[in-house]
Amino acid sequence: MSLSYSALKGATSETVRQAIRTGQYRGHTAGLCPGLLQANLVILPEDYALDFMRFCQRNPRACPLVGVSDTGVPSIEMLGHFDLRSDLPAYNAYRSGVLADSPSDISTLWRDDLVAFALGCSFTFEAALQAAGIALWHIENDTTVPMFRSAIRAKSAGPFEGPVVVSMRAVPQERLTEVQAISARFPHAHGAPVHTGDPAKIGIADLNRPDWGDPAPVPPDHVPVFWACGVTPQAAIAAARPSFCITHKPGHMLIADIPDQAEALDILDLP
């Protein structure tokens, strides 16, 4: 039996992960488990781990590192009790930098040389925006936030390089300053926007054609606002071409067991 997104809104993380693990839910996680940290996921062979960690440290807006696993261990203890092989709704598996599959479980792909990285996610500041009464179209319409390759370049590290991927949300013009201030409170979840207004200025030709996710309208009296996005590593993976790599499928996140409030994230104490 499958469960709908609406059926899981308001459910505990334990209930949501059980639905994911048993195949009852395969959708996006935006708006689920409010108050808990959600994270992007990158899993690489140990040979690439140090360079990727450098890539995260050099690009903290796009790749805010919130947890790293031990080699071969499919969990990140500091973030909670979950199995990285089964507790995300969907994954992307890459071979030589090319997307090869999008499985719903990676147990058969797991290896003893793999290291997992959890990166902060914009779903954290989205919860704060909603709490302030700021509507988010993609959540209200059960779609995935639109994401775009931008003309902003990430700082390279070893073989990892490429564009900064950005996510877009349309914000009422009169609340723009408030939105910027709220998201800036969450540096572990991409922080303040990297661009506001004309998408062409950061190399985006058409807001109706996102590289990932679904199109979202920009109504009158709204402005498109762009944040650095945790899908940036997936673009860098295409450049690095590791023999093997697994990530979350965009929009289908790891739900952690720690609070997403800015002060709670200070306990992570990561660079």
pLDDT number for residue 264:
46
Beta strands 163-172 and 254-259 are: unpaired
CA distance 199 to 184: 21
pLDDT number for residue 270:
47
Q: What residues of the chain score a pLDDT lower than 70? A: 261-271
pLDDT number for residue 267:
47
pLDDT number for residue 266:
53
β-partners of residue 36 are: 259
pLDDT number for residue 271:
43
pLDDT number for residue 265:
52
pLDDT number for residue 180:
96
Element (H, E) at 246: strand 245-248
pLDDT number for residue 60:
94
Closest by CA to 28, choosing from 196, 146, 179, 193, is 146
Q: 144: how many CB neighbours lie within 10 A of its CB? A: 21
pLDDT number for residue 35:
84
Task: Record the pTM.
Answer: 0.88
Q: 219: how many CB neighbours lie within 10 A of its CB? A: 8
pLDDT number for residue 268:
53
Q: Which domains does the chain have, with CATH numbers?
A: 5-118+241-260 (3.40.1640.10), 123-232 (3.30.2040.10)
pLDDT number for residue 31:
86
